[in-house]
Amino acid sequence: MTESAAANSSPRLPPAYRLVARDSVGSTNDEARQLAEAGAEDGTLVWAREQLKGRGRRGRDWQSPRGNLYLSLILRPECSAEQAAQLGFVAALGMGDAIGTVAPPMIEVRYKWPNDVLINDRKAAGILLESMSTPDGDLDWLVLGIGVNITTFPEDTAFPATSLRFEGCPPALDDVTLLEAFARHFLSWVNRWLEDGFAPVRKTWRSHAFGLGDAIEVKLAEETLTGIFDDLDEDGGLLLKLADGGTRRISAGDVYRAS
Ligand code: BTN
C-alpha cells in the first residue's frame, strides 16, 4: 500500500504534530531518524501499520505484525541530551493515560523502569529512545519510538507480555484510535514537563511504579543486581538499595521481580 492509501484511515492529530503515515516499513525509528537528520521539525510523527525490522531496547527485536501500534515521534526540545531522557517517562505517562481512556475500568496500568507500560503487571507497550547531540552536549533531536500490543503479543519474552485485547479492551479498538488518544495525552504531559520540569512527571510515575519498595533484579549489560527498588531519582535514574547497605544508581537496565 502507498502512503496515500495508508492515509485512508488517517488519524486526526492535534496541530502540534506532522503525521507521516506509512503502511509497511522496516522500523519507524529508522524512518524518523532519517527525517530528523534531514531537518524534520519537532512534532513529526511517523506511524506505520506494520514493521518488518522493528527494534526494541538493548538490541532486541520488536515483533511488529499488523494490528498493533508503531510510532516514532521526532522532538527537538531545548535541553541537554541527559534531560531529554526524561521524555521516555513523559511518553510512558502519555501512553498510560491513553490506554486508561480506551480500556475497561478494572485494568491496572503501571510503569516499569525505565519506560515500559504494563497492564495487570504484563508488558503492553515499550519505548525506544534514540537521540543525537550537538558537539557542546545539547540535544539536536530525539526520536521516541513506541510500540503497543493491541491485538497480539509475543509469548517468549523474559518479562511476560500482554495485549490490550487480551486484557479486555473492546475488539473495535484499533491503532488509529490509540494513536489519537496518545497524541492528546502526550501533548498535555510534554507541555507540563516543559513548564514545570521532571517533578510532576516523576510524582505520577512513582505513584504507579512497578516494584517500587520491593525486591527486584536489575539486569545490566555485564551483571545482574538484586536489591530493593528504593526510588526513582530526580533525573530518572533507578536507586537500588543493596544488601550491604549501599545504594547504586542505575541509568540503563532491565527490571524483573526478584526470584
Ligand atoms: C522495548 O524494547 O521495550 C522498546 C520497544 C520499542 C518498539 C517501537 S515500535 C515503533 C518504534 N520502531 C521500532 O523499531 N521500535 C520502536
What is the number of the ligand 1 atom nearest to the C-alpha of 26? 14
Q: Rounded mean pLDDT of the chain?
A: 95
Q: Specify the residue with its C-alpha closest to ligand 1, atom 15.
A: 55
CA of 243 to the centre of ligand 1 (A): 34
pLDDT classification of 6: cutoffs 50, 70, 90? very low
Which tens digits make up the pLDDT trace of 62-91? 999 999 999 999 999 999 988 999 999 999
Listed in sequence order, the DSSP H helices in the chain are 3-6, 28-37, 81-84, 87-102, 175-196, 199-207
Which tens digits make up the pLDDT trace of 115-126? 999 999 999 999
| Amino acid code (one letter) for 36 | A
Indicate whether 170 pLDDT > 50: yes
DSSP of 135-191, one letter per residue?
Answer: TTSBEEEEEEEEEE-SS---S--SS-B--TTTTT--TT--HHHHHHHHHHHHHHHHH
User: Which of 66, 70, 118 for mutating ligand 1's site (highest number of atoms within 8 Å of CB)?
Assistant: 70
User: Which of 35, 47, 52, 55 for mutating ligand 1's site (highest number of atoms within 8 Å of CB)?
Assistant: 55
Which tens digits make up the pLDDT trace of 176-188? 999 999 999 999 9
Q: Specify the residue with its C-alpha closest to ligand 1, atom 3.
A: 126
Cα 18 versus chain centre, distance = 19
Q: Which residues line ligand 1 at a C-beta cut-off of 6 Å? A: 27-29, 51, 54-57, 60, 62, 70-72, 116, 126-128, 145-147
Q: Long-range contacts made by residues 113-119, C-beta under 8 angstroms, separation at least 24?
A: 113/209, 113/210, 113/211, 113/229, 113/232, 113/238, 113/255, 114/88, 114/89, 114/236, 114/238, 114/252, 115/88, 115/89, 115/91, 116/92, 116/159, 116/210, 117/92, 117/148, 118/210, 119/162, 119/164, 119/167
Put residue 67 in one of left, alpha, beta given phi > 0 → left and psi -120 to 50 → alpha: left
Q: Specify the residue with its C-alpha closest to ligand 1, atom 11.
A: 145
